[in-house]
């Protein structure tokens, strides 16, 4: 029998290499539009191709192309190779077709004596058109992922219903007399292990598909761990130690879980709201800011005076305080690059940092800066429009999350209460047993549903805004929605099912 070449140790190595190659290609193509933009701006300012590569080494916000620039300069200055030969070799070695085509055209344009700026502009236009097409495709992939997640939640709902029926009716007695056994521990495994793990898999998939606009949120996530870890400890302690639940009645385990998760999420949600408000406002303002500088340059003002004039505009919102700081630093004689470094400490938006850095490079280079700034203004406006449209198209999925959270909670409660009522009709002797089983298991599944909905908030946060910080607000709201749906559905059915006690959840 012929052995599969992808099996065994060698097959695993090949799979890992293919995966790494695919990731490198995706990262390269994600940075390519901005790298081409920088090459275009430098070409419009009269910078030679090789000098453009040397300047690329300073751009830490484009790590892939910084590394690429380091390699190009190393081969030229250390190995003595011709810059065009090095670029041609890099074109042959790269796994990205877009980058290969760009480098190939770059080299051909220089060797043929063509106008490099015109080539760059045409490449820039085609790359942004491809970005628009890829944007629509990525939204379609995200939509498919959300649909798959919805199907998974339907499976969750069916599983919850199945175990609620087993736990709250005479089916348990029937199963007890057979070889089939339904252990209560299985309920805990379903509610607190299998379902969160399945959600975690989808969250990981969403993480690979969506890139965050705010790449540096490590401080927020560290703070989140400090708040959420104690919340789960509290839920676990109250779930294990029954005497603690009795001591704080009328609160029950679902109420404790909801309060703990919401309380742990709110501080992080508030901090993220402040971060996002400033940065989204900066993203909205930066194209107009660059446009104002461009128009001021056309009147003959110096770069510094152009920036000072642009910062005096009053409709930049919360971004204005950073512009006031920039104006003050320039008036005190601080260089533009140092001003940019100070801004990077305050602003987390990658889009703002990239555009501001390209503006600084353009102004420092000089040359035909008006043409360069015109190009930068045009494409920063286009990129901003793409990002706004992307977020607008993904916002409706937040509403879908609230719908499925309420659906899971209400349906599970209705099935549990209906099953208990039918048990009482069939056998009054089993009704009290079924009632106790229903109350105990409904508490377990209520907590499971609340935690499941809370986790779903991070999936939706990643889908809608590209980062987990956005998920804390949604997670808190979904957990509260699930709890109130559970309570409301039980209250509404109390009059219909007289055997349901008022403290069913508690």
Q: Looking up tokens 């045009």, which residue turns up?
A: 378
The alpha carbons of the chain give a radius of gyration, in whole angstroms, of 30
Would you state the pLDDT for residue 5? Answer: 45
Which pLDDT score, from 0 to 100, does residue 87 have?
Answer: 84
Q: What is the mean pLDDT of each run of 10 residues along the chain (506 residues)?
A: 45 43 69 81 78 83 85 86 84 82 82 77 79 78 85 77 60 48 63 84 85 81 90 86 74 87 93 89 86 81 81 79 84 81 82 82 68 78 81 81 84 73 55 56 80 91 86 92 87 60 46
Under DSSP, the state recorded for 191 is: I
Can you give the pLDDT at residue 440?
65
Q: Specify the pLDDT at position 116.
A: 78
pLDDT value of residue 504: 46
Tokens matching residue 164? 């609620």
- Write down the H helix ranges in 241-368: 242-247, 253-298, 303-311, 320-331, 336-344, 350-365
pLDDT recorded at residue 167: 57
- Asked whether the beta carbons of 461 and 470 are under 8 A apart, the reply is yes
Q: What is the pLDDT of residue 268?
A: 93
Q: 308, 177 in Cβ contact below 8 A?
A: no
Report d(CA 213, CA 397) in Å as an integer.
Answer: 19
Q: What pLDDT sits at residue 420? A: 63
* Average pLDDT over all residues of the chain: 77
Omega into 492 within 30° of 0, i.e. cis? no
What's residue 259's pLDDT?
92
Tell me the C-alpha distance between 456 and 148, whole Å: 13
């Amino acid at each position: 029998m012929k052995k599969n070449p992808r099996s065994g140790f060698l097959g695993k190595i090949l799979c890992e290499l293919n995966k790494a190659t695919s990731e490198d290609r995706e990262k390269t193509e994600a940075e390519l539009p901005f790298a081409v933009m920088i090459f275009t701006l430098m070409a419009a300012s009269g910078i030679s191709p090789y000098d453009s590569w040397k300047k690329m080494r300073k751009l830490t916000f484009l790590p892939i192309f910084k590394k690429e620039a380091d390699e190009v300069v190393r081969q030229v200055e250390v190995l003595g190779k011709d810059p065009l030969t090095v670029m041609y070799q890099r074109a042959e070695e790269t796994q990205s077709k877009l980058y290969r085509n760009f480098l190939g055209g770059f080299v051909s344009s220089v060797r043929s004596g063509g106008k490099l700026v015109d080539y760059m502009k045409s490449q820039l236009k085609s790359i942004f058109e491809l970005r628009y097409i890829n944007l629509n495709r990525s939204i379609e992939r995200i939509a498919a992922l959300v649909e798959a997640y919805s199907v998974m939640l339907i499976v969750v709902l069916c599983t919850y219903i199945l175990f609620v029926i087993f736990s709250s009716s005479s089916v348990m007695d029937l199963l007890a007399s057979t070889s089939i056994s339904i252990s209560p521990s299985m309920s805990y495994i379903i509610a607190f292990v299998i379902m969160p793990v399945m959600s975690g898999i989808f969250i990981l998939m969403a993480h690979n598909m969506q890139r965050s606009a705010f790449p540096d949120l490590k401080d927020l996530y560290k703070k989140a761990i400090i708040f959420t870890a104690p919340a789960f400890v509290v839920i676990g302690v109250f779930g294990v130690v029954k005497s603690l639940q009795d001591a704080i009645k009328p609160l029950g385990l679902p109420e404790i879980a909801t309060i703990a998760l919401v309380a742990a999420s709110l501080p992080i949600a508030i901090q993220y709201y402040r971060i996002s408000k400033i940065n989204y406002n900066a993203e909205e303002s930066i194209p107009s800011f660059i446009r104002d500088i461009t128009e001021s340059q056309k009147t003959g003002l110096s770069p510094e005076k152009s920036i000072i004039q642009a910062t005096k505009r009053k409709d930049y919102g919360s971004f204005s305080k950073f512009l006031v700081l920039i104006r003050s630093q320039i008036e005190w004689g601080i260089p533009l690059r140092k001003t940019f470094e100070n801004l990077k400490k305050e602003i987390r938006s990658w889009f703002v940092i990239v555009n501001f850095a390209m503006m600084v490079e353009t102004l420092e280079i000089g040359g035909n800066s008006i043409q360069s700034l015109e190009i930068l203004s045009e494409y920063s406006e286009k990129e901003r429009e793409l990002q706004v449209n992307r977020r607008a198209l993904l916002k409706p999925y937040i509403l879908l999350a609230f719908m499925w959270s309420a659906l899971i909670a209400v349906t599970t409660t209705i099935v549990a209460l209906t099953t208990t009522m039918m048990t009482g009709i069939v056998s009054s002797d089993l009704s009290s047993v079924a009632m106790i089983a229903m109350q105990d298991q409904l508490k377990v599944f209520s907590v499971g549903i609340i935690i499941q909905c809370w986790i779903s908030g991070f999936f939706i946060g990643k889908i809608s805004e590209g980062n987990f910080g956005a998920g804390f607000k949604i997670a808190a709201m979904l957990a509260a929605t699930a709890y109130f749906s559970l309570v409301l559905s039980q209250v509404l059915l109390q009059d219909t099912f007289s055997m349901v006690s008022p403290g069913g959840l508690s």
